[in-house]
Structures are given as structure tokens and as C-alpha cells.
Amino acid sequence: MSKKQSDIVKGIAILFMVFHHLFMKEARYEAYHFTGLIINQSITVFIAEHFKVCVSLFAFLSGYGMEKKTKNAVRKGTDINAEYYEKSIVETYLKLIRDTSFLTIFLILLTMILVFKKHLAWFGEKKDCIFL
């Protein structure tokens, strides 16, 4: 499996995860008068409950990618030892932080703004918000 194919499957798994979290319980959306995305509500919930397989897909693809990376390193003559795995884990972690930090900070700030605004609305306060 190529990196591109792995990314495609990961994208599908992300869609599974979103669908699973949105539709796995009718109580989450019954206030919105949702009639069912696929035929009816019970079938939509049934499918959403089974889309939990997304976690397994991510775990499998992560392990597969790590194994493929290790095999490529062996072919290149790299000594596979604890130091190699430690360096690989640190590199992967730093790449993850680099790739997601902007989005994480943006979402935290957005959540703070929305929660603060909603908090003021709940109590009927008309104070100016420094964030808005």
C-alpha cells in the first residue's frame, strides 16, 4: 500500500468517525427533527454504531506505516535498535505537533470565544467581551 492509498483510507476513516459521532445515538439529534440520512433513523444509527471501525483502521494503518518505514531503513543498512525507535517516535511526534499546532490553537481560541459569548447570553448579561 502506498502512502497516497494509506492517506485515502485514513480520509475515509475520518469520515466514518464523524458519522459515528454525529449519528450513533438518536438523542444527539432528535431535537433537530432529523428523519434519517439513510432510509430511516434506526438504520442510520445502526450504520453509525458500526463505523467505530475507524479506530481499528487508524491503528492498523499506523502500525503498517511504521513497519514499512522500518523495512525501508533495514534495506538502507540502518541499524535497528532502541535508539532508532526512539528517534523515529520523536520525529513522528514533532511532525504531528508541527502539522496540527495552528489548527489546535485556532480551535481553542474559537471555543473560548463561543463559550464565553454563550455564557453571557445564558445569564442575560450585556457586558462587552474583549474577545469579540
Of 42-46, 94-98, 116-120, 123-127, give the range with the top mean pLDDT.
94-98
For residue 94, the model assigns a pLDDT of: 92
Q: Does 16 share its domain with 52?
A: yes
Q: Does 60 share its domain with 96?
A: no
Q: Does 37 share its domain with 60?
A: yes
Sign (positive or negative) of CA dihedral 80, 84, 89, 94: negative
For residue 132, the model assigns a pLDDT of: 46
User: What is the domain extent for residue 89?
Assistant: 81-132
Q: Does 30 share its domain with 66?
A: yes
Q: Does 86 share its domain with 125?
A: yes
Q: Does 66 share its domain with 93?
A: no
CA 40 to chain centre: 27
Model pLDDT for residues 35-83, shown as the tens digit of each residue: 656 677 778 888 888 888 888 988 898 888 888 888 888 888 878 888 8
Q: Does 15 share its domain with 58?
A: yes
CA nearest to 13, candidates 44, 62, 59, 58: 58
Q: Does 38 share its domain with 100?
A: no
pLDDT at 130 exceeding the cut of 70: no
Q: Does 62 share its domain with 110?
A: no
Distances 103 to 56, 94, 106 between C-alpha atoms, Å: 25, 15, 5
For residue 109, the model assigns a pLDDT of: 85
* Count: domains in the chain: 2
Model pLDDT for residues 95-111, shown as the tens digit of each residue: 889 988 999 899 888 88
Q: Does 64 share its domain with 88?
A: no
Q: Does 16 share its domain with 73?
A: yes
Q: Does 9 share its domain with 71?
A: yes
